[in-house]
Amino acid sequence: MIKNKFNTAAWDIYDSTYIQVISLKNGLEFIGYSKKEGFAEKNDKQALLINWIIRMHKSGYLDANYFDKRRNITTIEYYLNETAHKKPILRLFYDYYEALDTAWSIENREVFKFLDNFYEAIKSDDKEKIKSLYIYKKRRFNDPFDVSMKRFITEKSLRNYCYRMIEQKKFTKEQAIGFHQRYTEKYFQ
């Protein structure tokens, strides 16, 4: 029932972080937003964009071999949804991408690490690798010190998690430092 409501909800053109413009080879253009009215957007904006790109591949828009040729693209462009205008940040093609904003690119390095891995997987036709790049955030971890699965896309989000656990008195400072070190060694080095 909730999924049906989500699918029928209107795009939130004001509070979305990102705007997506899909330009098709047949001349049509589709505009989408990263948020739906009445629903929350992911807090991790890099994960939000990464998962959106993967869904575009799964839907055939970034797959040059997709059976439905009506989904053949010329480009998919992403913009920051700023109040006065949309700021171009990224342009995707079937086999490469272009960064359109240097400052945004520097602040969002994880997106570009993902894109490098994503396009490498596309070139080798490794669908399992593409699927593995999706960032699952809904899984609940019973053990707050669990490092068996990547759940933070940036070191900043890991740091914020550790600070929050200390503030909520769920971690001691020593536990937070130890968890941060183990997680960093496994996923960020």
Rounded to whole angstroms, the Cα distance separating 40 from 171 reads 28
Distance from C-alpha of 5 to C-alpha of 36, rounded to nearest angstrom: 10
For 65-72, what is the mean pLDDT? 88
Which pLDDT does position 56 carry in this prediction?
Answer: 93
Using DSSP's 3-state secondary structure scheme, residue 185 falls into helix
Q: What is the mean pLDDT of the chain?
A: 87
Domain boundaries, the chain: 2-132, 142-189
Q: In this predicted model, what pLDDT tens digit does every residue of 112-140 receive, in sequence order? A: 989 999 999 999 988 888 888 876 655 55
CB 41 within 8 A of CB 17: yes
Asked if the model's pLDDT at residue 148 lies above 80, the reply is no
Q: Average pLDDT, stretch 5-16?
A: 86
CB 52, CB 137: distance < 8 Å: no
For 97, phi then psi, to 5°, come to: -135, 160
Eight-state DSSP code of residue 101: -
Is residue 186's pLDDT more than 70? yes
Quote the pLDDT of residue 152: 79
Residue 84: CB atoms within 10 Å: 5
Across the range 10-28, mean pLDDT stands at: 93
